[in-house]
């Protein structure tokens, strides 16, 4: 049986043991899968009861143990079992997850069933060579999180954050940006019951145009702003047609109302809470550990599921396009029960991003694994991009034929051997948990039986079970809530008598009005206070660190005290604020400080802005000495640490490959010498046996002559005796040759063993998990000569004024 040392190596996924169809059982040889083969994607196919879910969970366990971050989309609720890890294997650990009704059907109490399950799990893991310590290793290797978009059962996930401004890598790729907008808008319209064609639908074209316009301006396109822009679009034309001719305002009102009803519905609040939908957040914890993020969508309607899946896939594509190319596995996307999301003929919103991933993700180290019961319901062209197929029992002849078609396409693209008739016979006789592994990177398919999962397979989890698991799991930080700003600190308002009408400004001075995002309550009013707003492009260069980056910053300074240099109290904004064309009706205005209505003063403030940006708007990055790397603008520490781990993994894979290549010739030559030495030993042994036989015959003849051969004469007997003595001497020499040849072969075998041991030790040293990578801060100031002010205005910021004279911010700014 393969021991832990045989399969517990980085880059090798232990998925089971090779299966002997003649004996009808698994052999002692482990089935190890090279993780790098997942960069060419995989498909798991099997009917209910085939063991498909168990294989998938084992695959995700191996990925986590190997430090590979995973995003797993779970339509049924089975993947939450990955959080059920019990290193103690005690009945008490299993007891909360025992179904009392199932125990009663087995004629046992829940406690007795827990004891039976614990014993079964302990024996099963031992039979597969997995000690309890391996469960603990899996549990510690990655942070495991269950996300429940649209629900607070698990960790909430704010899906609409995906309409945030795209990252630089995606923003510069026009085709990729259009694909993302198209599928995201399709998912949003499907959520409100509109089946919109991207080419023919006015709703789709208008929303896509508005989102693209927002992205071009590097600002977010959240649902609330889209509703307002549908009513008052910031564009005048769509294509070459006037907006009113293309989509009149009265008809646009229906679309705005449908989206507003969605936003206003009580249940939709959960869609806006929690961690923002960001690929880096899904893939890496804040401490840089890989994350196993399970996006559970079993509780959602079909339209909501499609919306959630589409946005998650688009986020992964956006992240993928910002990564450098690699041949190592950098991250893994797994989707269970992909039926309906990747059909052969229809084009749901999820199909385009899935096709994009299947065709392009391999170059960036993002592996895709899809699982299904019904292969006939999956896109044939997309499946042709899968390099690995794990095939369990299939339900119908039609399923078998679709699988065979897919295998033939994958084999043709990889120029590998594929015997259709042999594969058809193999598929017909599969047992439960027995799979055919067809890998285009291997010479031929193999049969294997999947190993026992480390996680307890309790079946689909209920919302209450997910809630209890999420409550027990420590969060790495408080969830953000883009829809509900954190309570603002209360500040005394300006005296009521100081607020009045809007001050008159020269036409040369630009005014902006920050949008009211927190409407006033009963008895409250809106008062605007003045500030300065600027948007600028900054250029940060550090040749030694290899940094040459432009970034856009948004700066805000209050004008309450009339300071000569208001920028001394300024602050940076996280994103471009949302402005309205006019102030709120009935609002009052705080008075301007002296000189604020004079054009010359504004020009002075504009000049002071450059000095302030040079002083305060430094680019804060992190750097690591080994592997040598610098974080990217906007990259979190967790994402940077995850990238460092990926770089270390790629360097490790390359070093191991070079080491094996360098040792291969030496080991091959030594094995050839051993083979020749063994052949020589056998020849010497054969010659020695011949000489011994000759000596025995000669001695026998001499003895016979001595006893009975007086007639032969004494000279003859003497001659025979001499030959006999010489024969014995030659036999002894031949025996010595045999010993020397055997010693030489043994020396060579020991030399081979030593070299192989050294190779294993060197590989083990390379495979050893690195400790926490030390990071150092890196501050890079902007180049003074490259500071470009894009927007400069006096901005009116709304506050909610209560009757008691207490004011609170009424805007996100």
Of residues 421 and 365, more confidently modeled? 365
In this predicted structure, the answer to whether residue 539 has a pLDDT above a threshold of 90 is yes
Cis before 627? omega within 30? yes
pLDDT, residue 192, reads: 85
CA distance 647 to 649: 5
Q: What is the pLDDT of residues 62-79, one digit of tens each?
A: 999 998 999 999 999 999
- What sign results for the dihedral spanned by CA atoms 707, 712, 715, 717? negative
- Whether residue 444 is predicted with pLDDT greater than 80 in this model: the reply is yes
The position carrying tokens 């190890």 is 32
pLDDT of residue 497: 37
With contact defined as beta carbons under 8 Å apart, do 586 and 502 qualify? no
Residue 66 placed within a domain: no
Strands 70-74 and 291-296: parallel
Domain-located, residue 654: yes
Q: What share of the chain is helix, strand, coil (3-state, %, to 5)?
A: 50, 20, 35
* Judgement on whether residues 587 and 669 belong to the same structural domain of the protein: no
Of 448 and 443, the one with more pLDDT: 448
Does one domain contain both 588 and 660?
A: no
DSSP string, 567-625: GGG-EEESSPPPEESSPPTT-EEPPPPTTTT-HHHHHHHHHHHHHHHHHH--EEEEEET
Instruction: Flag whether pLDDT at 490 surpasses 50.
Output: no
User: Beta 579-580 vs 511-514: how paired, if at all?
Assistant: antiparallel
Contact 124, 452 (CB under 8 A): yes
Among positive and negative, which fits the CA dihedral 176, 178, 181, 185?
A: negative
DSSP codes of every residue in 198-211:
TTT-HHHHHHHHHH
Q: Are strands 776-780 and 806-809 parallel, antiparallel or unpaired?
A: unpaired
Phi, psi of 642 (to 5 degrees): -65, -40
Verify that 500 and 607 share a domain, yes or no.
yes
Report the pLDDT value the prediction gives residue 493, as an integer from 0 to 100.
39
Q: What is the CA radius of gyration of the chain?
A: 37
Q: Are residues 577 and 691 in the same domain?
A: no
Judged against a pLDDT cut of 80, whether residue 535 lies above it is answered with yes
pLDDT at position 722: 53
Q: How many CB atoms lie within 10 A of CB 707?
A: 9
804 within domain boundaries = yes
Average pLDDT of the segment spanning 657-674 = 80
pLDDT band for position 705 (cuts 50, 70, 90): low
pLDDT of 112 higher than 90:
yes
* Mean pLDDT taken over the chain: 82
Q: 293-347 pLDDT, tens per residue?
A: 999 999 999 988 998 998 899 889 888 888 888 888 999 999 999 989 999 888 8
* Paired tokens of 445: 């398919």
Please state, in angstroms and rounded to a whole number, the distance separating the CA atoms of residues 215 and 166. 7
**What pLDDT, on the 0 to 100 scale, is given for residue 594?**
82
Q: How far apart are CA 135 and CA 86, in angstroms?
A: 7
More confident residue, 562 or 262: 262
Mean pLDDT of 234-260: 91
Give the pLDDT score at 412: 61
Pairing relationship of beta strands 42-45 and 388-391 according to DSSP bridges: parallel
Q: Which pLDDT value is given to residue 68?
A: 93
CA 316 to chain centre: 8
CA distances from 650 to 42, 330, 366, 369 (A): 21, 9, 13, 21
DSSP readout, 44-78?
Answer: EE--TTSSHHHHHHHHHHHHHHTT--EEEEESSS-
Q: Between 193 and 474, whose confidence is greater?
A: 193
Residue 26, pLDDT score: 92
pLDDT surpassing 60 at residue 695 = no
Both 752 and 788 in one domain: the answer is no
**According to the model, what pLDDT value does residue 4 have?**
43
Number of domains in the chain: 3
What per-residue confidence (pLDDT) applies to 776?
92
Residue 149 lies in a domain: no
Confidence of residue 479 (pLDDT cuts 50, 70, 90): very low
As a whole number of angstroms, the distance between CA 11 and CA 485 comes to 44
**Residue 291, pLDDT above cutoff 70:** yes
Q: Are residues 648 and 757 in the same domain?
A: yes
- For residue 409, being part of any structural domain is answered with no
pLDDT in tens, 14-61: 999 999 988 889 999 999 999 999 999 999 999 888 999 999 999 999
Name the residue among 159, 136, 162, 196 with its Cα closest to residue 295: 159
Q: Is residue 658 part of a domain?
A: yes
Q: Given this model, what pLDDT does residue 697 score?
A: 52
User: 373 pLDDT exceeds 60?
Assistant: yes
Question: Are 600 and 687 within one domain?
Answer: no
- Tell whether the model's pLDDT for residue 129 goes beyond 50: yes
Query: 599 with 666, same domain?
Result: no
Residue after which a domain boundary falls, among 211, 246, 273: 273
What is the spatial distance between Cα 619 and Cα 781, in angstroms, rounded to a whole number?
6
Q: Is the pLDDT confidence value at 771 over 70?
A: no
**Using 50, 70 and 90 to split pLDDT, how confident is the model at 171?**
low
Q: Do 592 and 699 fall within a single domain?
A: no
SS3 (DSSP) at 395 = coil
Question: With the C-alpha atoms ordered 371, 374, 376, 378, is the resulting torsion angle positive or negative?
Answer: negative
Q: Do both 523 and 588 map to the same domain?
A: yes
What confidence tier does 486 reach under pLDDT thresholds 50, 70, 90?
very low
What is the Cα–Cα distance from 787 to 539, expressed in whole angstroms?
7
Residue 573's alpha-carbon distances to 171, 536, 552, 790, in angstroms, are 20, 12, 11, 15
pLDDT of residue 1: 39
Domain range spanning residue 222?
160-273
- Is 84 or 697 the better-scoring residue by pLDDT? 84
Statement to judge: residues 544 and 645 lie in one domain: no
Find the range with the poorest average confidence among 219-223, 464-468, 645-649.
219-223
Of 243, 273, 303, the last residue of a domain is: 273
pLDDT at residue number 690: 61
Q: Is residue 304 part of a domain?
A: no
Q: C-alpha 59: how far from its chain's center? A: 14
396-408 burial code (b ≥16 CB/10 A, e <16) = eeebbebbbbbbe
% of the chain residues with pLDDT over 90: 39
d(CA 84, CA 63): 17
| pLDDT digits 0-9 by tens, 133-162 | 999 999 999 999 999 998 889 999 988 655
Antiparallel, parallel or unpaired: β 275-276 and 157-158: parallel
| DSSP secondary structure of 275-290 | EE--HHHHHB-TTS-B
Q: Are 573 and 807 in contact (CB under 8 A)?
A: no
DSSP alpha helix (H) spans, 276-434: 279-283, 302-320, 351-360, 380-383, 397-414, 420-428
**What pLDDT does 161 receive?**
53
- Is residue 761 included in any domain, yes or no? yes
Q: Are residues 606 and 680 in the same domain?
A: no
Question: For residue 477, what pLDDT is reported?
Answer: 43
Residue 752 has pLDDT above 50, yes or no: yes
pLDDT of residue 116: 94
CA pair distance 98, 101, nearest whole angstrom: 9
**Which has the closest alpha carbon to 690: 743, 749, 731?**
731
Residue 367: which of 41, 35, 71 has the closest Cα? 41
The answer to whether 332 and 73 are in contact (CB under 8 A) is no
Q: Which pLDDT does position 635 carry in this prediction?
A: 83
**Ordered alpha helix ranges (H), 66-191:** 91-94, 100-105, 110-127, 132-141, 168-171, 174-191
Strands 588-589 and 525-542: parallel
Q: Which of 273, 292, 325 represents a domain boundary (last residue)?
A: 273
Angle at alpha carbon of residue 278, lines to 272 and 281, rounded to 5°: 110
Q: Is the pLDDT assigned to residue 228 strictly greater than 90?
A: no
**Sign of the Cα pseudo-torsion (167, 172, 178, 179, in order):** negative
């Amino acid at each position: 049986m393969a021991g832990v040392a045989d399969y517990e190596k980085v880059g090798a996924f232990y998925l089971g043991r090779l299966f002997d169809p003649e004996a009808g059982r698994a052999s002692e040889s482990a089935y190890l899968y090279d993780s790098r083969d997942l960069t060419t994607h995989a498909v798991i196919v099997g009917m209910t009861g085939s063991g498909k879910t168990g294989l998938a969970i084992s695959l995700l366990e191996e990925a986590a143990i190997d430090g590979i971050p995973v995003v797993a989309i779970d339509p049924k609720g089975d993947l939450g079992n990955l959080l059920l890890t019990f290193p103690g294997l005690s009945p008490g650990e299993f007891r909360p997850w025992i179904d009392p009704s199932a125990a009663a059907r087995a004629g046992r109490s829940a406690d007795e069933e827990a004891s039976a399950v614990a014993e079964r799990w302990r024996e099963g893991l031992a039979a597969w060579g997995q000690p309890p310590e391996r469960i603990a290793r899996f549990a510690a290797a990655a942070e495991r999180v269950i996300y429940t978009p649209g629900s607070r059962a698990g960790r909430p996930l704010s899906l609409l954050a995906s309409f945030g401004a795209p990252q630089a890598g995606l923003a510069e790729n026009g085709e990729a940006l259009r694909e993302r907008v198209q599928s995201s808008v399709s998912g949003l319209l499907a959520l409100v019951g509109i089946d919109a064609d991207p080419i023919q639908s006015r709703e789709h074209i208008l929303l896509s145009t508005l989102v693209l316009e927002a992205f071009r301006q590097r600002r977010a396109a959240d649902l609330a702003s889209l509703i307002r822009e549908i009513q008052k679009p910031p564009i005048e034309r769509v294509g070459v047609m006037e907006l009113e001719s293309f989509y009149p305002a009265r008809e646009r009102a229906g679309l705005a109302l449908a989206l507003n009803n969605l936003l206003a519905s009580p249940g939709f609040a959960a869609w806006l809470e929690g961690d923002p939908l960001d690929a880096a957040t899904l893939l890496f914890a804040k401490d840089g550990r890989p994350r196993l993020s399970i996006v559970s969508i079993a509780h959602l309607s079909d339209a909501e599921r499609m919306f959630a899946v589409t946005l998650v896939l688009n986020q992964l594509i956006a992240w993928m396009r910002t990564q450098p190319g690699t041949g190592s596995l950098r991250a893994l996307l797994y989707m269970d029960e992909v039926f309906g999301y990747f059909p052969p003929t229809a084009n749901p919103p999820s199909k385009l991003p899935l096709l994009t991933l299947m065709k392009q993700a391999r170059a960036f180290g993002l592996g895709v694994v899809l699982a299904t019961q019904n292969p006939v319901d999956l896109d044939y062209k997309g499946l042709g991009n899968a390099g690995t197929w794990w095939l369990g029992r299939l339900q119908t002849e039609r399923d078998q034929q679709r699988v065979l078609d897919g295998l033939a396409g994958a084999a043709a693209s990889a120029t590998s051997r594929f015997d259709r008739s042999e594969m058809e016979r193999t598929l017909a006789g599969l047992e439960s948990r027995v799979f055919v592994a067809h890998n285009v990177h291997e010479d031929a398919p193999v049969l294997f039986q999947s190993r026992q999962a480390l996680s307890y397979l309790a079946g689909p989890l209920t919302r209450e079970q997910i809630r209890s698991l999420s409550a027990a799991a420590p969060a790495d930080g408080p969830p953000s809530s883009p829809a509900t700003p954190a309570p603002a600190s209360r500040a005394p308002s300006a005296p009521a008598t100081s607020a009045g009408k809007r001050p008159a400004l020269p036409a040369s001075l630009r005014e902006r009005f920050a949008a009211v995002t927190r409407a006033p309550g009963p008895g409250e009013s809106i008062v605007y206070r003045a500030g300065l707003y600027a948007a600028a492009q900054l250029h940060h260069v550090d040749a030694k660190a290899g940094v040459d980056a432009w970034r856009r910053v948004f700066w805000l300074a209050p004008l309450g005290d009339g300071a000569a240099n208001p920028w001394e109290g300024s602050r940076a904004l996280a994103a471009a604020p949302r402005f309205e064309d006019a102030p709120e009706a009935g609002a009052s205005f705080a008075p301007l400080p002296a000189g604020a209505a004079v054009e010359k003063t504004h020009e002075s403030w504009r000049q002071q802005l450059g000095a302030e940006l040079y002083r305060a708007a430094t680019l804060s990055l992190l750097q690591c000495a080994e592997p040598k790397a610098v974080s990217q603008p906007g990259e979190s520490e967790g994402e940077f640490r995850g990238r460092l781990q990926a770089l270390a993994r790629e360097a490790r894979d390359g070093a191991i490959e070079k080491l094996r290549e360098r040792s291969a010739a030496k080991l091959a030559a030594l094995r050839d010498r051993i083979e020749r030495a063994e052949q020589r030993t056998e020849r010497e042994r054969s010659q020695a046996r011949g000489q011994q036989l000759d000596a025995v015959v000669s001695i026998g003849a001499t003895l016979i002559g001595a006893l009975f051969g007086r007639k032969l004469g004494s000279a003859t007997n003497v001659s025979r005796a001499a030959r006999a003595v010489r024969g014995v001497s030659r036999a002894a020499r031949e025996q010595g040759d045999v010993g020397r040849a055997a010693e030489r072969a043994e020396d060579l075998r020991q030399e081979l063993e030593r070299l192989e041991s050294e190779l294993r030790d060197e590989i083990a040293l390379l495979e050893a998990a690195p400790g926490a990578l030390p990071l150092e801060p890196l501050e890079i100031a902007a180049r003074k000569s490259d500071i470009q002010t894009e927007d400069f205005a006096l901005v009116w910021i709304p506050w909610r004024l209560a009757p008691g004279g207490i004011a609170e911010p009424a805007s996100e700014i």
